[in-house]
A and B are shown apart, each in its own frame.
Chain A
Amino acid sequence: MSSSPSWQVDVLEYAQKCIYCGYCSVCPTYKELKWENNHPRGIIEQIKLYYFEGTKEELKIEVSKQLFNSVFSCTMCHACEDICIVDIPLLKIWEQVRQEAFKKGRWSPALLSLYNKVKDTHNIFGLPPEERTSWAPMNNLNMSKRTLRKAPVAYFLGCQASYSGKMFDIPVSVVKILRKARVDFTILGEDEWCCGSPIFLAGGYSIGKSFAVHNLEMLKKLGVKKLVTACSGCYRTFKIVYPRILGEKWDIEVFHISEFVEELFKNGKLKVKNKIKEKITFKDPCELVRHCGLMEAPRNVINQIPDVRYEELPSNRKEALCCGGGGLLKINNDELVKKVNEHLIDEIEYSETDIVVNGCPTCLDTIRTGTKKRGLNVEVIDLSELVKRMVEDKK
Chain B
Amino acid sequence: MTLKKKVRTKFVKNFSKRFRDDKTTLMMYARDMSDLPTPVKLLFKTIPNGVILPQSTEEIQKIFKLAKENNVSIIPRGNGTAGFGGAVVYNKGVVVDCKGIESEIFLDPFEQSVIVPPSILFNDLQKKLKLDGFSLCVHPSSIYSATVGGWISHGGYGVGSVKYGGATDQILELEVVQPNGEIKTTNSKEDISLFVGSNGTLGIITKVKLRIKFDIPLYHRGCTYDNPEQLLNGLNELTKTDAVSIWFFNLQHVKEINETFGFSLPERYVVIISKEISYEEERDEFNKKFIDVIRTSGGQILDKRYIQNIWDIRFKTFALLKKYQDYIISEAILPTKQSSKFLRKLIAKFKNRVQFEGEMISPDKCSIIITIPFEENISPIQKTMINLRLFKQVLKSIKIGGSPYSTGLWFAGYYPSIFGKEQYSKYREMKQKIDSKNISNPGKVLSPRVKLFPILTLKYLIKLVSSVL
Shortest CB distance A17–B (Å): 6
Q: Please, which residues of chain A bring their CB within 8 A of the CB of B27?
A: 45, 49
Closest B residue to A23 by beta carbon equals B144
Q: Mark A312-355, 1 if CB is under 8 A from B, else 0.
A: 00110000000000000000000000000000000000100000
Shortest CB distance A99–B (Å): 20
Question: Does B321 count as interface, using CB distance less than 8 angstroms?
Answer: yes
Q: Please, which residues of chain A bring their CB within 8 A of the CB of B327?
A: 19
**Complex: A162 Cα to B222 Cα, angstroms:** 57
Question: Does A246 count as interface, using CB distance less than 8 angstroms?
Answer: no
Shortest CB distance B303–A (Å): 26
**Complex: A46 Cα to B127 Cα, angstroms:** 31
Determine, out of A79-87, A104-112, A226-234, A288-296, the stretch whose residues face the partner at the interface: A79-87
Cross-chain contact B35 with A34 (CB below 8 angstroms): no
Q: Please, which residues of chain A bring their CB within 8 A of the CB of B99?
A: 34
Question: Does A37 count as interface, using CB distance less than 8 angstroms?
Answer: yes
Cross-chain contact A86 with B28 (CB below 8 angstroms): no
Within 8 A of A (CB), among B1-40: 20, 22-25, 27-29, 31-35
Question: Does A26 count as interface, using CB distance less than 8 angstroms?
Answer: yes
Question: Does A20 count as interface, using CB distance less than 8 angstroms?
Answer: yes
Cross-chain contact B318 with A21 (CB below 8 angstroms): yes
Given A34-B53, A42-B28: A21 and B142 interface contact (C-beta under 8 Å): yes
**Complex: A362 Cα to B81 Cα, angstroms:** 34
Given A17-B322, A36-B97, A86-B322: A62 and B24 interface contact (C-beta under 8 Å): yes
Q: Mark A284-317, 1 if CB is under 8 A from B, else 0.
A: 0000000000000000000000000000001100
**Complex: A22 Cα to B33 Cα, angstroms:** 8
Cross-chain contact A315 with B127 (CB below 8 angstroms): yes
Secondary structure at the A interface, as helix, strand, loop or mixed, is helix
Closest B residue to A24 by beta carbon equals B145
Question: Does A65 count as interface, using CB distance less than 8 angstroms?
Answer: yes
Question: Does B131 count as interface, using CB distance less than 8 angstroms?
Answer: yes
Question: Does B80 count as interface, using CB distance less than 8 angstroms?
Answer: yes
| Chain A interfacial positions (CB closer than 8 Å to B) | 17, 19-23, 25-26, 34-37, 42, 45-46, 49, 59, 62-63, 65-67, 83, 85-87, 314-315, 350
14 A-B pairs whose Cβ atoms sit less than 8 Å apart in the complex = A19-B318, A20-B31, A20-B35, A21-B142, A22-B145, A25-B121, A34-B97, A35-B51, A36-B51, A37-B28, A62-B22, A66-B25, A85-B318, A87-B319
| Chain B interfacial positions (CB closer than 8 Å to A) | 20, 22-25, 27-29, 31-35, 51, 53, 79-81, 97, 99-100, 121, 123, 127, 131, 142, 144-146, 316, 318-319, 321-322, 327
Given contacts A21-B145, A59-B23, A85-B322, 9 further A-B contacts (CB under 8 A): A17-B322, A19-B318, A19-B321, A22-B80, A35-B25, A35-B97, A36-B80, A65-B24, A86-B321
